[in-house]
Amino acid sequence: MRHRFHSICPYFAMFPEQFAEQWISRCTKPGQTVMDPFCGRGTAPFQAVLMDRNAIGNDANPVAFVLTGAKVESPTLGSVKGRLRALEQSYNAEVVEAERLLLPSFFKRAFHHSTLRQILHLRRNLNWKVSRVDRFVAALALGALHGEMTNAEAYFSNQMPRTISTKPAYSLSFWRKHKLWPQRREVFSILRRKAAFRFESPRPTIRGQTYLSDVRTLSSAITNTKAPVDCIITSPPYLDVTNFEEDQWLRLWFLGGAAEPRVDIYSRDNRHKNPARYWAFLCEGWQALRPLLAQRSTFICRIGGRNIDPDSIKETLSSSVQFLARRWTLQDYTVSTLIRRQTDAFRPGSVGCRFEMDFCFDLYQ
Ligand SMILES: C[S@@+](CC[C@H](N)C(=O)[O-])C[C@H]1O[C@@H](n2cnc3c(N)ncnc32)[C@H](O)[C@@H]1O
């Protein structure tokens, strides 16, 4: 059975488990260390702990940090149930009412007022940066925050896509046009059911590490690595394809962020659009990772972009690898065509990225 933690919450541009599994078994042995410095929902580090490897996940996006931490540093089901009980007991609708009233109109049409108060209570009280249990509860809530409204057991919101958070103006006009109103959802019971479902798969015995850091400062954030990194499996942001802050804005709000889509809190350097800055950013990132690598290691990278061709990606990525290692060889690479995705309709910026490339480099320090 596919491990039930994998699908705790969708994430834009996530890679499939098979991708991580195949490279982990090809490039590492049990006990070695796998790192993903742009880990998204944590597929590579989680697959690594399932395969008895040490794992390090990192991402600048708090949503990614919560999802990866929930998977690789999971608490027990008993502690999750206990925490949900305590949160439910301490819930007082009046305490969050003023906060609810001040939210933009999007929120009032996205969630039933009683559901929104419960969400606000969780948002105030989950200490996801520090507590593993709260991180797991937050991950369950992020996975339930928005999706199909016909599934009353699964999602809190009015009709929305699961993967990305649609913009307020688009959502409001969609709901008005289709006369859609949010249904009342019992947040605590949905989370209890979700927790029981996820824990039908056994918790991994190895515990990984998760960091919430810009890749360029990651090595100073890591203080207690057990072993040098034997393999990086990663997928950096694609050139000019998406801005994760906009795509994830509602989940970021749940974790304490702004009550509107933003593009400038975590990514002020325009690295997504301008090719020269994008590649400079990756070179800086690779340079920062270098001190963490073993004498011999492997670097697996899935990458794509708009208005750029596969040959240029191959050439520029390969020359950027000098920042990761003294000597390197390109073992293998493939180009695959991307099919049009449902989410393209909400995010015009993604149209134009028609291929993805996978690279495998051997690195020598
Ligand atoms: C293509 S996604 C990775 C998806 C991931 N492979 C998965 O399976 O979910 C790229 C990730 O890079 C992260 N990111 C963007 N800029 C970053 C930075 N400066 N430092 C660390 N992570 C960053 C984004 O938050 C996003 O999660």
Q: Is the pLDDT of residue 341 over 90?
A: no
Domains of the chain: 17-71+208-364 (3.40.50.150), 77-198 (no CATH)
Q: Which atom of ligand 1 is nearest to the CA of 214?
A: 20
- Rounded to 5 degrees, what angle do the CA atoms 188, 189, 195 make? 90
Taken in order 80, 63, 292, 233, the sign of the CA dihedral is: positive
User: If you measure from the C-alpha of residue 54 to the centroid of ligand 1, how many angstroms do you get, rounded to a whole number?
Assistant: 20
Q: Which atom of ligand 1 is nearest to the CA of 59?
A: 22
Mutate to test the pocket of ligand 1, among 38, 58, 300, 341 (most ligand atoms within 8 A of CB): 38
Q: Is the pLDDT of residue 60 over 60?
A: yes
Q: Is the pLDDT of residue 188 over 50?
A: yes
Task: Answer yes or no: is the C-beta of 61 below 6 A from any ligand 1 atom.
Answer: yes
Q: Is the pLDDT of residue 348 over 50?
A: no
Mind listing the pLDDT tens digit for each residue in 67-76?
999 999 999 9
Task: Answer yes or no: is the C-beta of 244 below 6 A from any ligand 1 atom.
Answer: yes
- Please tell me the predicted confidence (pLDDT) of residue 280: 94
Q: Which atom of ligand 1 is nearest to the CA of 41?
A: 9
Mind listing the pLDDT tens digit for each residue in 90-104?
999 999 999 999 999
Q: Is the pLDDT of residue 26 over 60?
A: yes
- Please tell me the predicted confidence (pLDDT) of residue 251: 97
Q: Is the pLDDT of residue 225 over 90?
A: no
| Closest Cα to atom 17 of ligand 1 | 60
User: If you measure from the C-alpha of residue 237 to the centroid of ligand 1, how many angstroms do you get, rounded to a whole number?
Assistant: 6
Instruction: Lay out the sheet containing 33-36: strands in order across.
Output: 209-212, 54-59, 33-36, 229-234, 293-304, 355-364, 327-337
Residue 285: closest CA among 316, 330, 320? 320
Q: Which atom of ligand 1 is nearest to the CA of 44?
A: 8
Mind listing the pLDDT tens digit for each residue in 200-223?
999 998 999 999 999 999 988 887
User: If you measure from the C-alpha of residue 236 to the centroid of ligand 1, how many angstroms do you get, rounded to a whole number?
Assistant: 5
Task: Answer yes or no: is the C-beta of 247 below 6 A from any ligand 1 atom.
Answer: no
The amino acid at residue 220 is S
| Closest Cα to atom 15 of ligand 1 | 237
Q: Is the pLDDT of residue 117 over 50?
A: yes
Averaged pLDDT score across all residues of the chain: 91
Mind listing the pLDDT tens digit for each residue in 267-291?
666 667 788 989 999 999 999 999 9
3-state DSSP helix/strand/coil percent for the chain, to nearest 5? 45, 15, 40
Distances (CA, A) of 49 to 72, 112, 184, 331: 7, 39, 38, 25
Q: Which atom of ligand 1 is nearest to the CA of 281?
A: 19
Q: What is the pTM of this model?
A: 0.94
User: If you measure from the C-alpha of residue 293 to the centroid of ligand 1, how many angstroms do you get, rounded to a whole number?
Assistant: 20
